[in-house]
Structure 1
């Protein structure tokens, strides 16, 4: 059987039109999918929560926070009460519970104790910046044992004590430690300018003495990926103590020629370690 040429030509034209419509529809659908997926991919970066340690407050994280924000990371800071691992980590857990999506926890100094005791299933990594990473039953003062790890200058007369009002303390009072003004620059942040050190001293928060003596619970570094940035010129936590804690936490470890306050003196390098952890 044969068809007239006019019928065949019409059939070809209809087939071409259908093909064009199908192709156009596919392009529209794929474009819509791409437009929908773009915001989702932009939101995959974890929220970075920055936890300060003793003798400091969240202002020390300013440059690191600005760097992370410029790279598209949502950033929060935690106003660490410096009362003790259980109490402080409990408050941190409350803040973490309000965050949707993955989280990277970053702790400096005593802040490392707090992130080691804060449990939340959305935390994908711990990052320790010249920080304590205690094992179960360990406490800060024990890690600073000068017979095991000599070198810390966080001792009297640089370290002073004072009575403070504290609802968490016995009778509404507590005994807190702080670094005396004349020692602050040389011990805590010897690689920043005197003006920056003076500003850091003005923002210093004292820490409860019992916070250094309270044993840690089972640390989260046993179940999470960890990163550690060692400060090789640290005069608060001896570098060898930092290396020991990083090694047993199986942390991705790098070292930097910096003071204890590397987050202030070397914010770009600190940011790089956090970004590495966030992207792993």
Structure 2
């Protein structure tokens, strides 16, 4: 008798957000009996963050489905080479090629409104000069990040943003796990943070199974948790 193990879903949030952005998706997965974890993403740079996520995945018993939103997609592309990772799911995300940076992938397409609405600040680095980090200007945040989320919610999300180290845009991916692991991708067609064509291009290049959500903003996991969870469940079913 063969024992089938349901993979654990590991959710990786992106920049300007935290693991609570997955709340609706987590509830959906839990309701369907899918084991799920949503660790914090340090947002300090591609190599550092990918190593953190890879370590979190490696410490889970049994198979893991890695899910990345936005910048989190770049991280699962690298961290997905971890042995027990069986599938990758990209949610309104960057799907990098090995040796490619976020800046290079974005540079192939027209800028999204996000680019002109970033605000810089600095943070201390031990033994070095302060480094630059970015957030979305609070007034632009609702339209750029979460146009299909109620205004009362976006006002809170705008001030609770987690900044991304600017270095994350220029670091290159050291691996592309989609070359050896099956992948799924959700394109948010009304995304104003990542050009939807960037999402499409990366997903097609990876040979992912692609779902497009009409009118969905970048915060699709917040606004359309059922559909996002459904795509993740497709990946779980295919690898169980």
- TM, length-normalised to structure 2: 0.94
Counterparts of 2:25 and 2:58 in 1: how far apart (Å)?
A: 23
Give ranges in structure 1 of 5+ residues lacking alignment: 1-32
2:152 maps to 195
Per the TM alignment, residue 202 of structure 1 is displaced from its structure 2 partner at its CA by 3.1
Per the TM alignment, residue 121 of structure 1 is displaced from its structure 2 partner at its CA by 1.2
Q: Deviations over 1:37-85 (max 9, x none)?
A: 9xx65xx211000000111111100010111011111111121111111
Counterparts of 1:199 and 1:120 in 2: how far apart (Å)?
A: 35
Higher Rg of the two aligned structures: 1
Q: Deviations over 1:5-43 (max 9, x none)?
A: xxxxxxxxxxxxxxxxxxxxxxxxxxxx9xxx9xx65xx
Matched residue of 2:167: which SS? helix
**Is the Cα contact below 8 Å between 2:25 and 2:228 reproduced in 1?**
yes
In terms of mean alpha carbon deviation, does 206-215 or 90-99 score higher? 90-99
1:17 maps to none
1:162 maps to 121
Higher share of residues assigned helix? 1
Counterparts of 2:220 and 2:33 in 1: how far apart (Å)?
A: 22
**Is the Cα contact below 8 Å between 2:138 and 2:159 reproduced in 1?**
no
Q: Is 1:273–2:235 an aligned residue pair?
A: no
How many residue pairs get matched? 236
Per the TM alignment, residue 218 of structure 1 is displaced from its structure 2 partner at its CA by 1.9
1:114 to 58, 71, 75: 75
Counterparts of 1:199 and 1:60 in 2: how far apart (Å)?
A: 12
**Is the Cα contact below 8 Å between 2:100 and 2:172 reproduced in 1?**
yes
Per the TM alignment, residue 231 of structure 1 is displaced from its structure 2 partner at its CA by 0.5
Q: Is 1:126–2:100 an aligned residue pair?
A: no
Q: Which one scores higher on RCO, CA 8 angstroms, separation ≥ 6?
A: 2
Give RMSD over aligned pairs. Answer: 1.6
Per the TM alignment, residue 166 of structure 1 is displaced from its structure 2 partner at its CA by 4.0
Counterparts of 2:196 and 2:44 in 1: how far apart (Å)?
A: 25
Per the TM alignment, residue 114 of structure 1 is displaced from its structure 2 partner at its CA by 0.6
Matches within 5 A, 1:149-188: 149-156=109-116, 158-167=117-126, 171=128, 173-188=130-145
